[in-house]
Copies of this chain bind each other. A is one copy, B any other.
């Protein structure tokens, strides 16, 4: 990097000591259960009984940790790191231990011999910590277990944190994933005025598990074009196996200085400049190191350092093979631990010279434990947004459009605080939330033209046609202590099913880590749902995300199906207040009958499910003969239509109508914290009456939730069963046997004696279904009577 070295000899020496200490501590975690400082010759009993862990990525991560320490100290920088590569746990735990954070958070991890021993022993050990930068790792808000999301998380963290620098180490294996590949474009959405900076460090160590990586094998010019095409200015740092690391230290220091100078200049220009918008070509670092750098160069004559063989445990069978044991000891001693730690295990002052203090330490920065920064979200009075309902089923509203008005208020009330964001894949307006554009824009740093609407550099609505990037942004935003909501077409939340799993697992685990503060819920609004894909058709119909989420930890997952506009408002108000959970809210965007006034909606949502007495025909003090249950807006409409038909045509039949908002109420109390006791459940559903349950999604979910209930043998569930196509709303319910006529027939078939008694009505219902088939074939639209249907009262 030119003749003028960035680092003085002294700095170089202390940085190298810090890096060596980290490398020693990382290797120690993989191998040692005793003799942590090598104060005696290594013996088999000092070696862990099972050697688990991944050495390959650690030295590179350690280099970043060391050098981030330098620049944080030198610049008093507010910085966090996202450690993208898989199995980077040893590096992150080592860094946090060495800087003292770990010992402050977990007193048994102090910077002494006992603490070091426990640090080593806990790693990848039953009851210990995993090999990833999991919630147990101080300073981490990204696990790196499943790969692909580091850069999106980093950008999410940087949003609305103008003074924060988020350094993001991207592994070259991870860089092959789709989510990571598109995350490079997140720089077109970063506001240099209100957001912080993301500094990607593409770590090319060349190999995945068993293969070279694509990016590491590109010719240099092609890689450079690619990164510039992504909108970055790449700065290169290359380390060579066997070479004195001094050059790598100098180059890394120079690259970091240059990158941070560039970032500061871009931010200054944007914040203090003439207001002209120029999208910065943000710097990034390409860090090329050997995989397993400084580890064994060869094992049994086969190259290891710098190859895929360094991925996991470079020396296996150490307990059994004295030669391997000796090689391990040589390797560990090559870091000269006696220079790095006192006999009591305390790191020497030289090792700690670069370490920042207090909350500037990477393991202590509050952004990486976002709950510490979380503030209550200001939520509006629902009465200002609720719709008036004089009589159920007489007026229509688009639930998500009304929600949009409420979210607009939240946006307005957080305009100064900037701790609330909406994300969505190009669908905020399609999902009818566009009222928010009255108070904020869609974030957009790229070119604009005259016909564009609602695009702006400072907007807090994030839209890009990548569910992965949307989810990653929001996760990063929440994990660093803010609030948000992801609106999506219902079917396409499956695209982020695996990300959602990983987030649930993070939250579930983080709840067990005492020093982690609770974070705001991850809230999904699933709309444009299966029943109303009139022009998108079969490919857009999939209500299974609910099933996916409900397989996860019951203390972390919630699913709500508000049946109308006011219930959606109440559910939204609730979920935006929750912590350490994932909420899935399914609600339609199409005009939907209003059933409940605001106070009724509040009560109903607070209970989670309940009897809609006004919709049924039970006699006071009597027992129902049949229960019509429903969950979801379209099933609720069809159920109430069926109840209305029964009321008119069979007024003597005692029908009970039950609506379910919170799906987990159906689960047994022992299986979900929201689950009803059997007594509560039976009071609503009865113990022995036929239940016809019209459900929004795959019908089996209801069976799965209720199979232990007394009433279950008589429960008959209608739902979505993959009978979809491009068709009308009513045709969709007919195809899936969820329509009002079918529900009436189900009642007649299941109430003892009724099929015979009401044979005429049954035939009439069957005729209506035939009439529908005939009508739609001839006219291409729904029967007028179903479209114009209204609640009789």
Contacts and interface: CB of A to CB of B under 8 A. Distances in A.
Interface stretch (A153-161, A423-431, A610-618): A423-431
Nearest to A132: B539
A52 interface: yes
Contact of A539 (B218, B308, B502): B502
Given A181-B181, A497-B497, A704-B703, A455 B537 contact: no
Interface string A171-183: 0011011111111
B185 A552 contact: no
The 7 closest A-B pairs by CB, nearest first: A226-B229, A145-B539, A178-B178, A52-B535, A130-B537, A181-B182, A225-B229
B214 A446 contact: yes
A452 interface: yes
Contact of A147 (B183, B455, B465, B469): B465
Given A126-B731, A146-B540, 12 more contacts: A53-B535, A124-B535, A127-B725, A145-B537, A181-B181, A181-B185, A211-B444, A211-B463, A219-B447, A225-B226, A229-B230, A551-B700
A491 B229 contact: no
A48 B551 CA distance: 44
A491 B86 CA distance: 15
A722 B182 contact: no
Interface in A495-527: 495, 497-498, 501-502, 505, 508-509
Interface string A206-223: 001111111001110011
Contacts of A426: 173, 208-211
A278 to B, nearest CB: 11
A188 interface: yes
A242 interface: no
A50 interface: yes
Most buried by B among A127, A173, A777: A127
The SS class assigned to the A binding surface is: loop
A212 B455 contact: yes
A542 B230 CA distance: 34
A129 interface: yes
A792 interface: no
A771 to B, nearest CB: 14
A728 interface: yes
Interface in A36-54: 48-50, 52-53
Nearest to A469: B178
A245 interface: no
Given A130-B539, A225-B228, A539-B505, A49 B780 contact: yes
A212 to B, nearest CB: 6
10 contacts: A50-B780, A126-B727, A126-B728, A134-B537, A145-B540, A147-B465, A176-B464, A229-B229, A505-B722, A700-B704
Contacts of A146: 491-492, 495, 539-540
Interface string A16-59: 00000000000000000100000000000000111011000000
A11 interface: no
Contacts of A134: 537-539
A357 interface: no
B544 A548 contact: yes
B712 A174 contact: no
Nearest to A780: B125
A148 interface: yes
Contacts of A53: 535
Interface string A314-334: 000000000000000000000
Nearest to A552: B722
A129 B494 CA distance: 24
Contacts of A227: 229
Interface string A297-324: 0000001001110001000000000000
A633 interface: no
B446 A217 contact: yes
Contacts of A463: 210-211
Nearest to A306: B451
Contacts of A129: 726
Contacts of A180: 178, 182
B52 A534 contact: yes
A427 B308 CA distance: 13
A126 B228 contact: no
B230 A226 contact: yes
A312 B211 CA distance: 45
Contacts of A212: 444, 446, 448-449, 452, 455
Given A181-B182, A426-B211, A707-B712, A698 B52 contact: no
A536 interface: yes
Interface in A409-430: 426-430
